[in-house]
């Protein structure tokens, strides 16, 4: 597809809100999933460390 201007590119033939909104939602979900994975990993490491301290005593 060839666009005459940047505003035509962003409008995407009238579907710009849907297209760019979909990209934004996908990026948001991916960021939330990465944050969730990091938090779960930290929690698992903390649990392992607690178990390790309990067995060392």
Q: Where are the domains of the chain?
A: 23-57
pTM of the entire structure? 0.73
**What's the mean pLDDT in 26-40?**
98
Name the residue among 26, 22, 20 with its Cα closest to residue 7: 20
Instruction: Find the mean pLDDT for residues 28-54.
Output: 96
13: pLDDT strictly greater than 90: no
Per-residue model confidence (pLDDT) at position 57? 64
pLDDT of 28 higher than 70? yes
Q: Are 44 and 34 in contact (CB under 8 A)?
A: no
Residue 18 has pLDDT above 70, yes or no: yes
């Amino acid at each position: 597809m060839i666009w005459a201007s940047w505003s035509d590119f962003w409008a995407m033939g009238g579907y710009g809100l849907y297209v760019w909104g979909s990209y934004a939602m996908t990026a948001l979900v991916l960021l939330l999933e990465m944050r969730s994975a990091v938090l779960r990993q930290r929690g698992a490491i903390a649990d392992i460390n607690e178990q390790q301290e309990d067995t060392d005593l």
